[in-house]
Amino acid sequence: MTKDETKQIVLEIIADIAPDEDISNLKGDVRLRDQMQLDSMDFLDIVMELRKRHNIEVPELDYPHLATLDSCADYLTPKFAALGK
């Protein structure tokens, strides 16, 4: 899986947990929180959906890696690869 594909997976999750937001122009290097209304419970949603949909665990210490789309891609792509995806 490429980093762009990882970003797309994250965007699909964000689209579900923030259905009122326009996510078509999210910048990769800007904190998601600064571009849309996301609170701590929403970030837990991202963690939960990664677990449910893709069997990926994100330990609490690693939550900062989910701050931007780019950091999500950097952090999650190897995890997908480890699962053979």
Partner 1 sequence: MARSNQLPDTVTADVSGASNNKNVHMGMIVVLLLGHGWLAILFPMAYKPARIVITGVGLTAPNGDTLAQFRHNLLNGVAGIEKKDIRYMGECLAGVCHYDPLKYQKKKELRVGTRAGSISIYCAHEAMADSGINFAAFSKDRVGIYVGCTEHGNVETENEIYAISKFNYDTKYWSHYHNPRTVANNPAGEVSLSMGITGPAYTIGAACAAGNMGLIHAAQMLRLGEVDLAICGGISESIHTFGIYAGFKSQNALATHVDPHKASRPFDKARNGIVISEGGALYTLERLDDALARGAKIYGEIGGYCVNSDASDYVLPNPGRQAECVRKALVSAGLEAKDIHIVNTHATATPLGDIQECEAIRAVFGDGCPDTSINNTKSFIGHCMGAAGALELAGNLPSFDDLVVHPTINVDDLDPLCALPGLVLNTPKKVGRVDAILNNSFGMLGINSTLIVKRFVP
Binding positions for partner 1, rule: CB under 8 A: 17-20, 37, 41, 44-45, 48, 51-52
Q: What is the 3-state secondary structure (H, E, C) of the chain?
A: CCHHHHHHHHHHHHHHHCCCCCCCCCCCCCCHHHHCCCCHHHHHHHHHHHHHHHCCCCCHHHHHHHCCHHHHHHHHHHHHHHCCC
Comparing CB distances to partner 1, the nearer of 1 and 17 is: 17
**Measured from the CB of residue 13, what is the shortest distance to partner 1 in angstroms?**
13
**Measured from the CB of residue 4, what is the shortest distance to partner 1 in angstroms?**
26
**Measured from the CB of residue 3, what is the shortest distance to partner 1 in angstroms?**
27
Comparing CB distances to partner 1, the nearer of 3 and 54 is: 54
